[in-house]
């Protein structure tokens, strides 16, 4: 079997790619291969599903007839064993081989599980990444009272919030001294921490699990500090690492993730990669890195898709960006998150109650921002950052909650808005 | 009563002769044209001047000028802009250089009323005296008058950004000097007064912009309500030095001697002299 | 066919009537009094008039060729229909605000209840109300015959 | 009480009724009121108003999406007194509180007799046919400028090949005898000014820059511009004069004969300052007289100065306020070389004038026009100049009557403003205009979209021109020149002998 | 149709003025003044010009020379005037004023001149000759239709009409027929009254002549004041009041022009307020008493009588004046160029302040008058 396009991966990156291909090329054959048996769903939605805010149907990212509509052959529940670069084939678990003209690898990430003593496949130890994971957690939590969540990152906290709201006694264990440390600053970390604590979640910081006890089921965990916590469940949500299994041992270059250029091409001809499995160029930091983020996966897939069918595109903008919320406290971040104590940057911030805005500038350009609480129109900051505009002349206004285009000097403003506004209708220049 | 009506008589244009009939009065040599203005009406003289410039003259010398008006006015050449020099021998009439568009006019004789009326740019130099409303609504350029001027000199003179008109008067002026002045620099030297004070009254009445420099004696009661005396600063002296030096070179005075005199600097006390008399 | 509402800030009078009529357009009754006095159901204007007097500027969804909001939408709630409109399906929305994060115009609105609203070009009406009722022609519905970047 | 302040005894001019069952608290009224009348009270979730500030401009009423507002005159009054009317008492109190000259905007609102309303037009019946203006040609084209008494024509044997030997004075052609009168950029907003320029351009008529200059980017409308050279000489440079169709020397204005003008410094914003060529924030003072014109021969001096400055290529117009000796003055103006004379009557508009002047000085335009036309004819110089009349023209019939009395064309000012949005609230002098017309506040000025305003103006010109054609057709006339000075088509109703005599028309039935 | 003629009650006009005087008393022809006026052609509009000349009738210098204008060549009016003069005067000589019919003027009326001596009767014997003549002139001007006495002094005459100055001069042949030691001329630009021959300047009463440029805004006030003293303005022009005011103040009340100028063009109150007490009192009193003769508005006049010519403007000098001297000759003009056109080289040229007169007097009388002036001022 040979296809013009083969996509390994059925999530944001893969779908982005498939949709882009079909915008340009409706004729060629296209196959999407996914190790999971589900039709395309949103991994990012699993906390919402766990919460019960959405049902299974809404987990699906695209309508039921999606593959039909885009005329793609979906190979679901099919695991790819390896990519054969030279023969331009993908080898399936079943041994079947699918040929391709162009290939996208969008295999995503897999959970990172830190080493801890006594951890094996206990029934009540969970990761939290896939549909299967959430189904298991959901089932387990029905009969549990206590849970320990390892990891004070976004996923860890989202799980913790949901479980806490479900009435479980939740303890979050985070290795660092504050939660969300990679994505937000101390101020927001503390606000979030307080939110959890107010809602009865115990936040154990600067500590980690060194040992789990229990055979079939985990009975308790022991922290590095020596504290022992009895628990009914352990959710490990420390992070994801790129899933690069299918290209291991091939000529395709891998660093932490699959190395791609800005056209999302790997080191092998006609083979592209995107999403959590790839390392993309962070246009703000100016270096390649893994950015396991939904929008970047989708855009990366899209860029790959265009390139695959001959329309040259580059992923111009990629950097860290997160929209998150904990107990209705919303946070949107973008770009560089200063490490504590870093000083080579200009920081402007304003806090009013729990409403917080902060921008990090260097040479007049925005390198990063954090907005917490009132997050309306935060995308404008993202845009300014993306355009690398020199904002020195209006930097003070960036941290006003009312910040908008009218705070931006005219010479930039109309450029940012492009032909989406008509100027000069009164006075010709 | 039956009126005897003289019909319509065009005071300016009646009997005006065409350029064709008169062009023999223009002698063009290279870029210099000479016109004998004797007996010419103002239209005829200005027609001939324009004709000479279109023929290529860059300098026009007028002889026997007696009262012809608007000399220099009809020289608006936008594309390309031309700069003409006009030398007048005699006594030009009113509105000398009105709406002047950047040309240079030199008068060897006295000028009358309305010198540089609403002049836009250029230079007018009078080797003699001038009449009333000199530099009215002047907007740019420079006027140098060697002797006295009449009433309402520099009335409503204006300025805008880098366009700051300058008027230098060697003698004295009469009443309403700088009335309504809205901008520009006026320098009154009083060179022919000896020790006598200036006689002008209502100096700077309604003034709301610009600066006047007066050399010689002026009493407070001679000033309008809207002006105040202020101290000279370095910038003032620099300005005076520049224009007085030019003035002295033009008319043969000693600049240092003039600059050694006592100068009074007058400025409006407000940009809004009449803001408070109305009820809204 | 690309359609979108274009603002003319120089004649925007800052009356915010576009916002009012946007709510009316998305009300059940389509009646201004009823919409505001009897139907207050969390409806929210999808157009935002920025104010920094004397300047005012109505910002509305641009229905981008390649909408960033759609790219970042984790639930598939934001989609582009056949006519090029970028639409939002509240049924699917989980209020993650990724769209708010990525819309470069700040044109995705969050209501008082935290719901997401965005311009749908009054798809159920003859003409967008904001344009129709702008008292000063400061909004204009433009239709580019030119398709997106990709033809 | 603050120091120096006086507790006011004034009454509100207007009362505001808010129909609560319709108010949706959208706060449009609040945002649209430049006088800060409306405000939202969060505590009671309701809109409130300060009626003392209301000027009755009706902006809020028009903008209210639910029509929840009614603004009407304040009914409270003092004890009836035919001598001490409410207006007199309130004016007096205001002066007692401020000690200042009362200013007002727009034209005279006093009940002077409007002669147009006492003049009726003729129509053809039996003895000659009326003409159907919808299908047959109807000509309104008008030329403004000096005409020679006769033409010398050279025939070259062939009648198709004739040459005119007479030197003609410059004339300007307009497609309808309606011209926009002088409203300066400064008095009115840029938006309004531009709308007038565009409308004049589109319809083939003229607008008048007033004395505030012509912004550089609008000089492309110069061929439709009457540029003013007024006492302040603002923005007058050689290019300004040369780009124009007509140059107008402004001597006086109907609303304030004999009075200069002050554009207060706060209105001299950057763009105004560029156009007027004076520094920002400086009072733009227009002296009462032109200081180079203290007598009639000085007028001729300036007329010819302007002709000189423009190489005798433009007609020069001289505008005066209609005053007692208008006829004689007009004669002098024509003899001084004016190609067009403009008369502005008692009811002429203004951006700002002392109320006492506006309401008491000058004479009605009807009388001035009739006597000027008559006088110029008696002196045999009527063809030497065109007559433009201004001062309160409200409808096309007024225009037809003016032309029949002897005008060549009319200036409309207030009518044009009303077309654009003006509601005659008479607050022009405050610099606040909720309709964006008479203001330099950028926030208010942008309320007037020049494109919309232009359409409204063009529609007005079109509508009035059509009506003029209808009336002409009814009189059996198909060219406007046959109406000019054709007083046979006018009759007076309810006028006294002396009035008929000055107007030079017969009474109805005569 | 009914017609009613409403006569405008004053003239607005503006003009060119010129006066020249030989202070030694030497007489010269009208050529110079005509040339000067021609130079200022653009100050008029062809609707009026006129001249006054002093010393032109030496053979009849003891008789009042009446120049009478008959509008519309009204024979009846002339018969009436002839009868009136025979009755009230001894008429020693009478003739039509000679004119050049070739001159370009329109509709000239008939002009006659009469050289007369008063023949007073009854109560009128109490009147001085001058007062008698004034009274009779007023009687003709107000009583006889179409007849106007345009000149009534001794050894002088006024010549005026509708046309540009050179045309009027040509009509009356001033360059060839007359020689005088003072010439005053006027070129007119009327607005209010259409040009009519009687409305031209100069205005004359006895040997006082006035030419005027400008408009007298206080005309109504001045006119009604003068009417109380028997002066009636009949010539539809505001200049007339100047002539009568000068006659009243200078001839009848004996005030010198140095004082009269302070009545016509009085100092501003804010300047009077800072004068020393004596002066303040004088000027305050002067303004108080002669308030109705403050001449307001823009004006320049040149006034002449035998032995004296002066020019003066309004107090804020809204109209121009320039004066020049060359030897014994004094020039006063609206424009310097007119003076220069007839005398390019001058000993001096200057412009007086508003309200300050330029005075020329016959040298032989200069001293006498100056003494009188100082007497009056001291006495004030």
Taking only the tens place, the pLDDT of each residue in D22-52 is 999 999 999 999 999 999 999 999 999 999 9
pLDDT in the model for residue B1: 39
A207: Cα separation from own chain's centroid: 25
Other beta carbons less than 10 A from residue D387's beta carbon: 27
Residues of A whose CB is below 8 A from C98: 294-295, 323
Tell me whether residues A406 and C7 touch, CB distance under 8 A: no
CA-CA distance, C8 to C12, in Å (whole number)?
6
pLDDT in the model for residue C151: 34
CA-CA distance, D39 to B130, in Å (whole number)?
62
How many contacts, defined by CB atoms under 8 Å, are there between B and D? 163
Tell me whether residues E41 and B11 touch, CB distance under 8 A: yes
Query: Which residues are CB-neighbours of A215 under 8 A, at least 6 positions away?
Result: A122
Instruction: Pull the structure tokens for residue A330.
Output: 């919303």
CA-CA distance, B94 to B112, in Å (whole number)?
5
Taking the domains of chain A in order of start, what are their residue ranges? Answer: 2-109+241-308, 125-238, 328-420
- Angle CA A386–A389–A394, to nearest 5: 120
Residues of B whose CB is below 8 A from D311: 50, 74, 76
pLDDT in the model for residue B3: 47
Question: Hey, what CATH class is C2-140 in?
Answer: alpha beta
CA-CA distance, A381 to A367, in Å (whole number)?
10
Residue spans of beta strands (DSSP E) within D149-258: 153-155, 162-164, 171-174, 178-180, 207-208, 225-229, 246-250
D270 touching chain A per CB within 8 A: no
CA-CA distance, D294 to E298, in Å (whole number)?
7
Residue D257 and residue D362 in one domain: yes
Task: For domain A328-420, give the CATH number.
Answer: 3.30.390.30
Chains that touch E (3 or more CB pairs under 8 A): B, D
Q: At what angle do helices D365-378 and D326-335 cross, to 10 degrees?
A: 50
pLDDT in the model for residue D141: 97
Please answer whether residues E233 and E205 qualify as being in contact, where contact means their C-beta atoms are separated by less than 8 angstroms: no
Domain that holds residue E300: 13-379
Comparing CB atoms, the residue among B1, B7, B199 nearest residue E353 is B199
Taking the domains of chain C in order of start, what are their residue ranges? Answer: 2-140
With a cut of 80, say whether residue D190 has pLDDT above it: yes
Instruction: Pull the structure tokens for residue E235.
Output: 């010539």
E15 included as an active-site residue:
yes
Q: Is residue D107 part of a domain?
A: no
Q: Is A289 helix (H, G, I), strand (E, B) or coil?
A: strand
Q: Is residue D3 part of a domain?
A: no
Q: Find the range with the poorest average confidence among A58-62, B200-204, D116-120, D263-267.
A: D263-267
Tell me whether residues B99 and D304 touch, CB distance under 8 A: no
What's the mean pLDDT in A390-400? 94
Mutate to test the interface with D, among C8, C49, C135 (most CBs of D within 10 A): C135
Following CA atoms B176, B181, B186, B192 in sequence, which dihedral angle do they give, to the nearest 10 degrees?
0
Residues of C whose CB is below 8 A from A386: 104
Neighbouring-strand partners of residue D172: D144
Q: Which of E14, E15, E49, E249 is catalytic?
A: E15
Q: Report chain B (280 residues): mean pLDDT per 10 consecutive residues.
A: 62 91 94 96 96 96 96 93 95 96 97 96 97 96 97 94 95 95 96 94 93 95 91 95 97 95 92 77
pLDDT in the model for residue D125: 92
Q: Which overall architecture, per CATH, does domain B94-268 show?
A: 3 Solenoid (2.160)
Domain that holds residue D38: 14-99
- The distance of A405 to chain C (nearest Cα, Å) reads 8
Q: Beta strand A73-76 with A80-84: parallel, antiparallel or unpaired?
A: unpaired
- DSSP letter string over A209-275? EEEEE-SSS--EEEETTS-EEE-SEEEE-S-EEE--GGGTTSSS-BSSSEE--TT-B-SSTTEEE-G
Please answer whether residues D148 and D166 qualify as being in contact, where contact means their C-beta atoms are separated by less than 8 angstroms: yes
CA-CA distance, B165 to B210, in Å (whole number)?
9
Q: Residue E101 maps to which CATH number?
A: 3.60.20.10
Residue of chain D whose alpha carbon sits nearest to that of B121 = D237
Following CA atoms D450, D456, D457, D462 in sequence, which dihedral angle do they give, to the nearest 10 degrees?
150
Comparing CB atoms, the residue among E8, E15, E298 nearest residue D325 is E8
Cβ density class D82-106: b for 16+ within 10 Å, e for less: eeeeeeebebeebeeebeeebbbbb
Q: Beta strand A169-174 with A202-205: parallel, antiparallel or unpaired?
A: parallel
CA-CA distance, B116 to B138, in Å (whole number)?
7
Tell me whether residues D325 and E45 touch, CB distance under 8 A: no
Instruction: Pull the structure tokens for residue E58.
Output: 């030496």
Residue D146 and residue D68 in one domain: no
With a cut of 70, say whether residue C147 has pLDDT above it: no
Residue that is written with structure tokens 């729990």 in the block: A354
pLDDT in the model for residue D304: 96
Residue that is written with structure tokens 């005008």 in the block: D407
CA-CA distance, A381 to A404, in Å (whole number)?
9
CA-CA distance, A292 to C137, in Å (whole number)?
45
pLDDT in the model for residue E380: 46
Tell me whether residues B132 and E317 touch, CB distance under 8 A: yes
Instruction: Pull the structure tokens for residue D120.
Output: 């009726």
Please answer whether residues D334 and D385 qualify as being in contact, where contact means their C-beta atoms are separated by less than 8 angstroms: yes
Please answer whether residues B135 and B143 qualify as being in contact, where contact means their C-beta atoms are separated by less than 8 angstroms: yes
**E-contacting residues in B 165-194 (Cβ below 8 Å):** 174-176
Q: Report chain E (380 residues): mean pLDDT per 10 consecutive residues.
A: 41 78 96 95 89 96 96 94 96 96 89 96 92 93 92 96 93 96 92 73 91 88 91 76 91 91 94 94 95 93 94 93 96 96 94 93 80 60
Q: What percent of chain A has pLDDT over 70?
A: 100
Q: Is residue D7 part of a domain?
A: no
E204: Cα separation from own chain's centroid: 5
B103 touching chain E per CB within 8 A: no
Instruction: Pull the structure tokens for residue D81.
Output: 């007194």
How many contacts, defined by CB atoms under 8 Å, are there between D and E? 71
What's the mean pLDDT in A72-86? 92
- DSSP letter string over A5-68? EEEE--SHHHHHHHHHHHHH-SSS-EEEEESSSSSSB-GGGHHHHHHTSS-HHHHBSS-TTHHH
pLDDT in the model for residue E354: 92
Residue D182 and residue D312 in one domain: yes
Residue of chain E whose alpha carbon sits nearest to that of D505 = E1
Quick: pLDDT tens for D341-352.
999 999 999 988
Quick: pLDDT tens for A353-385.
999 999 999 999 999 999 999 999 999 999 999
- Of E214, E286, E216, E285, the residue nearest E249 (C-alpha): E286
Residue D190 and residue D89 in one domain: no
Q: Is residue D494 part of a domain?
A: yes
Cβ density class B19-40: b for 16+ within 10 Å, e for less: eeebeebbebeeeebbbbbeeb
Tell me whether residues C54 and D443 touch, CB distance under 8 A: yes
pLDDT in the model for residue B272: 76
Q: Is residue E59 part of a domain?
A: yes
What's the mean pLDDT in D47-66? 96
Q: Is residue D1 part of a domain?
A: no
CA-CA distance, D31 to D235, in Å (whole number)?
35
Q: Is residue D129 part of a domain?
A: no
Tally of structural domains, chain D? 2
What's the mean pLDDT in D270-275? 90
Q: Is residue D2 part of a domain?
A: no
CA-CA distance, D17 to D39, in Å (whole number)?
14
Give yes or no on whether A2-109+241-308 and A125-238 have one common fold. Answer: yes
Q: What percent of chain E has pLDDT over 90?
A: 73
pLDDT in the model for residue E378: 55
Comparing CB atoms, the residue among D22, D65, D447 nearest residue C17 is D65
Q: Between 3.50.50.60, 3.30.1360.150, 3.40.630.30, 3.40.190.10, what CATH number should domain A125-238 receive?
A: 3.50.50.60
With a cut of 50, say whether residue D110 has pLDDT above it: yes
E142 touching chain B per CB within 8 A: no
Sheet holding D506-507, edge to edge: D119-121, D490-492, D506-507
SS (H, E, C) D399-459: HHHHHHHCCCEEEECHHHHHHHCCCCCCCHHHCCCCCCCCCCCHHHHCCCCHHHHHHHHHH
- Of A164, A163, A125, A149, the residue nearest A205 (C-alpha): A149
Q: Between 3.40.50.720, 3.50.50.60, 3.40.50.300, 3.30.565.60, what CATH number should domain A2-109+241-308 receive?
A: 3.50.50.60
From residue E256, give the alpha-carbon distance in Å to each of E129, E182, E229, E310: 21, 19, 19, 11
Query: Which residues are CB-neighbours of D465 under 8 A, at least 6 positions away?
Result: D140, D175, D176, D178, D396
Instruction: Pull the structure tokens for residue D429.
Output: 């002098």
pLDDT in the model for residue E12: 53
Query: Which residues are CB-neighbours of D224 under 8 A, at least 6 positions away?
Result: D197, D200, D201, D204, D205, D206, D207, D245
CA-CA distance, A155 to D217, in Å (whole number)?
60
pLDDT in the model for residue A111: 92
- The distance of B186 to chain E (nearest Cα, Å) reads 21
What's the mean pLDDT in A185-191? 94
Q: Residue D275 maps to which CATH number?
A: 3.20.20.70
CA-CA distance, B81 to D242, in Å (whole number)?
14
Comparing CB atoms, the residue among B9, B156, B275 nearest residue D233 is B156
Q: Is E89 helix (H, G, I), strand (E, B) or coil?
A: strand
C55 touching chain A per CB within 8 A: yes
Residue D89 and residue D196 in one domain: no
- Angle CA D218–D224–D225, to nearest 5: 70
Residue of chain C whose alpha carbon sits nearest to that of D67 = C33
Tell me whether residues D271 and A427 touch, CB distance under 8 A: yes
CA-CA distance, D452 to D195, in Å (whole number)?
8
Cβ density class A180-219: b for 16+ within 10 Å, e for less: bbebbbebbbebbbebbeeeebebbbebbbbebbbeeebe
Q: Residue D94 maps to which CATH number?
A: 3.30.70.20
Quick: pLDDT tens for D199-238.
999 999 999 999 999 999 999 999 999 999 999 999 999 9
C96 touching chain D per CB within 8 A: no
Please answer whether residues D179 and D248 qualify as being in contact, where contact means their C-beta atoms are separated by less than 8 angstroms: no
B66 touching chain E per CB within 8 A: yes
Element (H, E) at E130: helix E129-143
- The distance of A211 to chain C (nearest Cα, Å) reads 35
- In chain C, alpha helices (H): 17-25, 32-37, 68-72, 98-102, 129-132
**Rounded (to 5) percent helix, strand, coil in chain E:** 35, 30, 35
pLDDT in the model for residue E109: 93
**Rounded (to 5) percent helix, strand, coil in chain B:** 15, 25, 55
CA-CA distance, B95 to B84, in Å (whole number)?
18
Tally of structural domains, chain E? 1
């Amino acid at each position: 079997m040979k296809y013009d396009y083969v996509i390994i991966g059925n999530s944001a990156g893969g779908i982005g790619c498939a949709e882009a291909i079909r915008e340009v090329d409706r004729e060629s054959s296209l196959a999407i291969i996914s190790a999971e048996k589900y039709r395309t769903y949103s991994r990012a939605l699993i906390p919402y599903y766990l919460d019960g805010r959405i049902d299974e149907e809404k987990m699906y990212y695209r309508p039921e007839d999606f593959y039909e509509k885009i005329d793609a052959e979906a190979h679901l529940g099919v695991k790819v064993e390896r990519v054969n670069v030279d023969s331009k084939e993908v080898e399936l678990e079943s041994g079947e081989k699918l040929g391709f003209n162009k290939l996208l690898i969008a295999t995503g990430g897999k959970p990172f599980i830190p080493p801890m003593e006594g951890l094996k496949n206990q029934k009540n130890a969970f990761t939290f990444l896939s549909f299967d994971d959430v189904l298991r957690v959901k089932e387990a939590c029905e009969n549990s009272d206590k849970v320990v969540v390892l990891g004070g990152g976004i996923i860890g906290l989202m799980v913790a919030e949901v479980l806490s709201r479900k009435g479980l006694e939740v303890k979050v264990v985070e290795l660092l001294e504050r939660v969300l440390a990679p994505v937000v600053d101390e101020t927001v970390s503390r606000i979030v921490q307080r939110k959890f604590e107010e809602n009865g979640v115990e936040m154990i910081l600067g500590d980690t699990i060194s040992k789990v006890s229990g055979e079939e089921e985990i009975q308790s965990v022991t922290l590095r500090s020596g504290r022992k916590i009895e628990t009914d469940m352990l959710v490990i949500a420390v992070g994801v690492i790129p899933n690069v299994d299918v290209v291991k041992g091939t000529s395709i270059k891998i660093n932490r993730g699959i190395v791609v250029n800005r056209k999302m091409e790997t080191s092998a001809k006609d083979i592209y990669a995107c999403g959590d499995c790839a390392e993309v160029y962070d246009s703000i930091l100016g270096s390649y890195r893994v950015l396991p983020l939904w929008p970047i996966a989708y855009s990366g897939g899209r860029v790959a898709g265009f390139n695959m069918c001959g329309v040259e595109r580059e992923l111009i903008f990629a950097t860290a960006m997160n929209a998150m919320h904990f107990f209705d406290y919303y946070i949107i971040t973008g770009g560089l998150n200063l490490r504590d104590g870093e000083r080579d940057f200009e920081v402007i911030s304003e806090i009013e109650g729990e409403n917080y805005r902060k921008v990090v500038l260097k040479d007049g350009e925005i390198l990063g921002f954090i907005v917490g609480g009132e997050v309306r129109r935060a995308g404008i900051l993202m845009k300014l950052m993306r355009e690398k505009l020199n904002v020195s002349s209006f930097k003070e206004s960036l941290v006003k909650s009312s910040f908008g285009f009218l705070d931006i000097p005219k010479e930039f403003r109309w450029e940012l808005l492009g032909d989406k506004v008509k100027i000069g209708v009164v006075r010709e220049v | 009563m039956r009126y005897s009506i003289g019909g319509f008589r065009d005071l300016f244009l009646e009997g005006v002769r065409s350029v064709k009939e008169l062009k023999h009065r223009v002698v063009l040599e290279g870029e210099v044209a000479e016109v004998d203005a004797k007996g010419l009406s103002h239209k005829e003289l200005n027609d001939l001047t324009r004709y000479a410039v279109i023929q290529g003259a860059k300098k026009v010398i007028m002889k026997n000028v007696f009262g012809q008006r608007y000399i220099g006015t009809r020289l608006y050449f936008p594309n390309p802009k031309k700069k003409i020099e006009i030398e007048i021998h005699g006594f030009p009439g009113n509105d000398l250089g009105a709406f002047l568009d950047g040309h240079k006019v030199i008068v060897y004789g006295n000028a009358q009323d309305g010198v540089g009326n609403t002049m836009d740019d250029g230079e007018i130099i009078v080797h003699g005296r001038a009449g009333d409303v000199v530099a009215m609504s002047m907007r740019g350029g420079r006027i140098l008058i060697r002797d006295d001027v009449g009433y309402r000199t520099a009335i409503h003179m204006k300025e805008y950004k880098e366009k700051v008109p300058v008027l230098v008067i060697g003698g004295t002026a009469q009443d309403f000097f700088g009335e309504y002045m809205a901008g520009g620099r006026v320098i009154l030297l009083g060179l022919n007064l000896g020790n006598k004070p200036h006689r002008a009254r209502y100096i700077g009445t309604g003034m709301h912009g610009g600066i006047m420099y007066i050399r010689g004696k002026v009493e407070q009661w001679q000033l309008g309500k809207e002006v105040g005396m202020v101290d000279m600063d370095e910038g003032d002296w620099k300005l005076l030095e520049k224009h007085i030096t030019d003035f002295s070179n033009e008319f043969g005075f000693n600049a240092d001697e003039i600059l050694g005199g006592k100068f009074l600097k007058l400025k409006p006390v407000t940009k809004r002299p009449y803001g408070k008399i109305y009820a809204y | 066919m690309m359609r979108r509402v274009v603002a003319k800030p120089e004649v925007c009078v800052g009356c915010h009537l576009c916002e009012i009529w946007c709510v009316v357009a998305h009300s059940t009754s389509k009646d201004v009094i009823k919409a505001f006095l009897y139907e207050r159901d969390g409806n929210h204007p999808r157009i935002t008039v920025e104010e920094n007097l004397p300047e005012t500027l109505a910002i509305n969804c641009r229905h981008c060729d390649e909408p960033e909001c759609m790219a970042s939408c984790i639930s598939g709630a934001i989609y582009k229909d056949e006519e090029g409109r970028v639409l939002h399906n509240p049924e699917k929305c989980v209020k993650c605000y990724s769209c708010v994060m990525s819309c470069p115009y700040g044109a995705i609105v969050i209501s008082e209840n935290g719901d997401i609203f965005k311009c749908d070009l009054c798809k159920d009406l003859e003409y967008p109300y904001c344009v129709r009722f702008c008292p000063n022609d400061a909004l204009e519905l433009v239709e580019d015959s030119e398709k997106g970047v990709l033809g | 009480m603050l120091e120096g302040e006086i507790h006011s005894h004034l009454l509100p001019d207007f009362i505001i009724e808010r129909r609560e069952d319709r108010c949706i608290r959208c706060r449009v009224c609040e945002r649209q009121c430049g006088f800060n009348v409306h405000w939202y009270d969060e505590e009671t979730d309701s809109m409130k108003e300060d009626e003392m500030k209301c000027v009755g401009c009706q902006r809020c009423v028009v903008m209210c999406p639910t029509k929840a507002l009614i603004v009407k005159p304040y009914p409270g009054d003092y004890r009836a007194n035919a001598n001490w009317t409410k207006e007199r008492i309130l004016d007096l109190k205001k002066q007692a509180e401020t000690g200042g000259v009362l200013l007002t905007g727009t034209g005279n609102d006093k009940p002077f007799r409007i002669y147009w309303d006492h003049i009726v037009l003729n129509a053809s019946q039996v003895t000659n046919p009326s003409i159907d203006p919808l299908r047959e040609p109807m000509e309104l084209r008008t030329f403004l400028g000096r005409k020679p008494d006769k033409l010398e024509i050279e025939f070259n044997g062939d009648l198709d090949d004739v040459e005119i030997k007479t030197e003609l004075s410059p004339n300007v052609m307009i497609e309808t005898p309606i011209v926009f009168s002088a409203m300066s950029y400064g008095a009115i907003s840029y938006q309004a000014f531009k709308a007038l320029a565009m409308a004049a351009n589109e319809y083939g008529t003229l607008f008048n820059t007033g004395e505030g200059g012509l912004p550089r980017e609008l000089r492309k409308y110069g061929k439709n511009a009457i540029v003013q050279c007024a006492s302040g000489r603002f923005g007058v440079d050689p290019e300004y004069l040369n780009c124009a169709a007509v140059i107008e020397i402004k001597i006086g204005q109907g609303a304030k004969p004999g009075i200069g003008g002050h554009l207060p410094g706060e209105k001299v914003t950057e763009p105004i300052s560029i156009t007027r060529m004076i520094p920002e924030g400086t009072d733009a003072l227009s002296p009462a007289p032109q200081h180079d014109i203290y007598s009639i021969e000085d007028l001729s001096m300036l007329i010819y100065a302007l002709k000189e400055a423009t190489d005798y290529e433009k007609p020069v117009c001289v505008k005066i306020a209609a005053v007692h000796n208008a006829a004689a003055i007009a004669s002098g103006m024509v003899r001084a070389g004016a190609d067009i004379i403009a008369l502005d009557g008692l009811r002429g508009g203004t951006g700002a004038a002392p109320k006492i002047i506006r309401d008491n000085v000058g004479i009605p335009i009807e009388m001035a026009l009739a006597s000027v036309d008559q006088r110029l004819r008696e002196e045999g110089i009527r063809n030497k100049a065109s007559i433009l009349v201004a001062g309160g023209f409200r409808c096309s019939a007024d225009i037809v009557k003016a032309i029949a009395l002897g005008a060549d064309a009319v200036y409309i000012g207030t009518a044009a403003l009303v077309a654009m949005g003006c509601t005659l609230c008479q607050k022009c002098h405050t610099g606040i205009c909720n309709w964006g017309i008479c203001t330099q506040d950028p926030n208010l000025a942008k309320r007037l979209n020049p494109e919309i305003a232009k359409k409204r103006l063009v529609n007005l010109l079109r509508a009035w021109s059509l009506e003029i054609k209808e009336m002409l057709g009814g009189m059996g006339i198909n060219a406007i020149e046959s109406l000019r000075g054709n007083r046979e088509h006018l009759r007076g109703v309810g006028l006294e002998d002396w009035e008929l005599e000055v107007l030079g028309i017969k009474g109805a039935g005569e | 149709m009914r017609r009613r003629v409403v006569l405008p009650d004053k003239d607005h006009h503006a003009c060119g003025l010129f006066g020249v005087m030989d202070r030694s008393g030497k007489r010269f022809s009208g050529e110079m003044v005509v040339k000067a006026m021609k130079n200022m052609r653009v100050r008029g509009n062809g609707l009026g010009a006129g001249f006054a000349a002093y010393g032109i009738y030496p053979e009849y210098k003891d008789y009042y020379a009446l120049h009478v204008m008959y509008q519309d060549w009204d024979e009846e009016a002339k018969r009436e005037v002839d009868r009136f003069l025979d009755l009230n005067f001894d008429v020693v000589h009478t003739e039509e004023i000679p004119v050049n019919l070739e001159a370009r003027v329109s509709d000239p009326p008939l002009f006659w001149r009469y050289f007369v001596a008063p023949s007073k009767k009854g109560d009128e014997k109490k009147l001085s000759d001058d007062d008698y003549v004034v009274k009779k002139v007023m009687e003709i001007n107000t009583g006889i239709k179409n007849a106007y006495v345009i000149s009534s002094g001794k050894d002088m005459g006024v010549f005026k009409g509708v046309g540009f100055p050179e045309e009027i001069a040509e009509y009356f042949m001033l360059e060839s027929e007359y020689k005088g030691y003072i010439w005053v001329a006027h070129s007119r630009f009327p607005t209010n009254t259409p040009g009519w021959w009687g409305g031209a300047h100069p205005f004359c009463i006895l040997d006082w002549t006035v030419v005027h440029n400008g408009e007298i805004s206080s005309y109504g006030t001045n006119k009604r004041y003068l009417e109380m003293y028997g002066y009636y303005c009949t010539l539809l022009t505001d200049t007339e009041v100047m002539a009568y005011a000068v006659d009243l103040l200078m001839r009848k009340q004996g005030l010198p022009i140095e004082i009269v100028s302070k009545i016509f063009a009085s100092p501003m109150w804010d300047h009077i307020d800072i004068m020393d007490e004596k002066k303040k009192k004088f000027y305050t009193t002067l303004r108080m008493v002669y308030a109705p003769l403050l001449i307001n508005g823009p004006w320049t006049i040149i006034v002449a009588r035998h032995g004296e010519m002066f020019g003066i403007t309004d107090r804020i000098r809204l109209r121009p004046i320039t004066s020049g001297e060359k030897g014994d000759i004094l020039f006063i003009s609206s424009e310097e160029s007119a003076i220069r056109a007839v005398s390019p080289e001058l000993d001096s040229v200057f412009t007086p302040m508003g309200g300050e007169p330029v005075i020329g007097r016959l040298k032989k009388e200069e001293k006498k008058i100056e003494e009188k002036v100082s007497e009056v001022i001291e006495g004030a």
